[in-house]
Every structure is written in C-alpha cells, then in structure tokens.
Amino acid sequence: MSEALLYSFRRCPYAMRARLALRYCGLAVRIIEVSLKAKPAEMLALSPKGTVPVLSVAGQVIDESLPIMQWALAQHDPDDWLLQGDPAVLALIAENDQVFKHHLNRYKYADRYPEHPMEHYRAEGEVFLQKLEGLLTQHEYLLAEHMSLADAALAPFVRQFAHVDREWFAATPYRRLQKWLQRFLESPLFIAVMAKP
Ligand SMILES: N[C@@H](CCC(=O)N[C@@H](CS)C(=O)NCC(=O)O)C(=O)O
C-alpha cells in the first residue's frame, strides 16, 4: 500500500478523532498540518469541499472524519472499538454530530448568536452531558468497560465544551464525565495525536 496521507488541523475536533483512530489502528500515516486560511492545493484537488480531515490512501480519498475512523478500524481494531457493530455506537455519534455540536458552536461563539445569552446555549448542550453522565453510571466508558469508537468520536467535542469555561465544568455535578474526560486527556493516545509537528 502506498503511503497514507492525512490532511489535518491540530485543534479541529473532527481531525482529532480521525487521528485517534488512525493511530489506534497502528497504520503509518503521514500527517500534513494545514492552515485553514490557506489550504494546500493538493488537498483541495483531492477534496474540493475544503474541510479537514482528508485521508488519501491507496488511491482512495475519504474526506469525512467518521468514515476515516471506520476505515481505520476496518484495517485493525485490536480492542474492539467497534463493539461488534453495536448500533448504539453510531446512534450516539449521530446525536453528538447533529445535536450537541450545534449547541457547542452557539455556546462557544455566543457573541455571534445574540438572540440568547450564553447560559441558554450552555443549558441546551448540557442535556447531552447529562445523557453521557447517565451512560457512565452503567459502564466505565460510554458504551462498554473499555474505550470504543464512541468515546474517541465524542471526546474531542466534550473537551471543547468543557474548555469554554473550565471552572463551570469543574463545578457541575457530572463527576463521572469529568473523570472520563480527564482520563482521555491524560491518555497516551490523545497526548500522541496532539503532539506538535
Ligand atoms: N463533517 C466533517 C466536518 C469537518 C469540519 O467541519 N472541519 C472544519 C475544521 S474543525 C473545517 O475544515 N472547516 C473548514 C474551514 O474552516 O475552512 C467531518 O466530519 O470531517
């Protein structure tokens, strides 16, 4: 197989989750850090829509983060991140991507959405945090006793939400979620994918 390339942006949560899965599966991938203000022509030639991450491997281009993760796990999934195809994994990721992400954007950039105060958007996003806290009362990780695709796909977004106001997040009653996030942030996998190029 020719060298796999990932066009990435270090702080983008979608690119983060793609890097997590690619590193976890153990395939050698060259990461190309791009400037979102000046995207490389080679990346746009592969994927004109201009979002990161973009994976180019063996003549194939995958330009959405979740399919990149699924491609990686199809190559190698030593710790059963796919949870043997449990549909709860994709359902939780869909809720994250379609609902929680929407509230996260409004909370993070509340000044751009002056129809409501920041607390309003935060409370909307908090509904999902409550759901995750409930899941963590059942298992050590979101859907199992070990990390899965769901944890890797959601954690970069929960991290962003928590970091908008760290003191607020630390003061919430979501003790299990706080511990889950902390464990993720301190994991060798996350630290490795966040290393500066
Ligand atoms: N649905 C896409 C979303 C990717 C996305 O929106 N990435 C952002 C960065 S976090 C981006 O590239 N935005 C284009 C830009 O800012 O020009 C995926 O899952 O890969």
In three state form, how does the secondary structure of the chain look?
A: CCCEEEEECCCCHHHHHHHHHHHHHCCCEEEEECECCECCHHHHHHCCCCCCCEEEECCEEECCHHHHHHHHHHHCCCCCCCHHHCHHHHHHHHHHHHHHHHHHHHHHCHHHCCCCCHHHHHHHHHHHHHHHHHHHHHCCCCCCCCCCHHHHHHHHHHHHHHHHCHHHHHHCCCHHHHHHHHHHHCCHHHHHHCCCC
Q: What is the mean pLDDT of the chain?
A: 97
Give the distance, in angstroms, between the CA of residue 54 and the centroid of all CA atoms in the same chain. Answer: 14
Q: Is the pLDDT of residue 68 over 70?
A: yes
Q: Tell me the two tokens of residue 100.
A: 């929680």
Ligand 1 pocket, residue 93 CB under 6 Å: no
Ligand 1 pocket, residue 52 CB under 6 Å: yes
- Residue 1, pLDDT score: 56
> Percent of the chain beyond pLDDT 70?
98
Q: Which atom of ligand 1 is nearest to 53's Cα?
A: 20
CATH architecture label of 5-78: 3-Layer(aba) Sandwich (3.40)
Q: Which atom of ligand 1 is nearest to 64's Cα?
A: 20
How far is the C-alpha of 45 from the C-alpha of 83, rounded, in Å?
Answer: 35
Whose Cα sits closest to atom 2 in ligand 1?
Answer: 64
CATH 3.40.30.10, the chain: domain bounds? 5-78
Mean per-residue pLDDT for 19-38?
97
Q: Is the pLDDT of residue 72 over 80?
A: yes
CATH 1.20.1050.10, the chain: domain bounds? 83-189
Q: Tell me the two tokens of residue 196.
A: 């500066």
pTM score over 0.95 = yes
Ligand 1 pocket, residue 100 CB under 6 Å: no
Q: Is the pLDDT of residue 10 over 70?
A: yes
pLDDT tens digits along 128-162: 999 999 999 999 999 999 999 999 999 999 999 99
Whose Cα sits closest to atom 10 in ligand 1?
Answer: 12
Q: What is the CATH number of domain 83-189?
A: 1.20.1050.10
pLDDT tens digits along 97-135: 999 999 999 999 999 999 999 999 999 999 999 999 999
pLDDT-based confidence at 196, cuts 50/70/90?
confident
Q: What is the best residue among 9, 14, 96 to mutate for testing ligand 1's pocket, by most ligand atoms within 8 Å of CB? A: 14
